[in-house]
Amino acid sequence: MIFEMLRWWYGTGWLQATHRIGTWTKGVERIFSISLIFRTLFAPWRRIVSITGKSLDAKMRDAMDNLVSRCVGFAIRFGVLIVAAIATFFTFIAAVLLVGIWPLLPFITIYCIVRSITG
């Protein structure tokens, strides 16, 4: 049974740990909806759009309101993209560390058990 576990650990298990890098990174992309944010980067914030009036003064005021709404939308979405990039980076680093430490985990576990017994 121990040999089967070790065969899985250093074979299929390690391969599955490697595939987790892509899975975790795609998970962060889905959480932050990165593709949707890129598509709507210059869209008005919360779809707040003023409908133009008939006079030139009303049209200018509405145009400024719409411009401010788009600037706020851009700023917030850009900030979310920055946070998403940072989260993706740290997720990728964590996954790579997992794959790098994977072969050592059985030995670390045995070392910790022996260390706790011998105190």
Q: What is the pLDDT of residue 116?
A: 92
pLDDT at res. 6:
86
| 14, 26, 61 from 17: Cα distances, Å | 5, 15, 56
How far apart CA 80 and CA 61 sit, in angstroms, is: 29
The predicted structure's pLDDT at residue 36 = 92
pLDDT at 114: 93
pLDDT at 51: 74
What is residue 12's predicted lDDT score, i.e. its pLDDT? 93
pLDDT tens sequence for the chain (119 residues): 888 988 999 999 999 989 988 999 999 999 999 999 999 998 888 776 767 767 888 888 888 888 888 899 999 999 999 999 999 999 999 999 999 999 999 899 999 999 998 87
Q: Number of structural domains, the chain? A: 1
Q: Which two tokens stand for residue 91?
A: 């997720």
For residue 109, give its domain range: 2-118
Q: Where are the alpha helices (DSSP H) in 10-118?
A: 12-32, 34-39, 56-101, 105-118
pLDDT score of 64: 87
Listed in sequence order, the residues at least 6 apart from 61 whose beta carbon sits closer than 8 Å to its beta carbon are 50, 53
What pLDDT was estimated at residue 91? 94
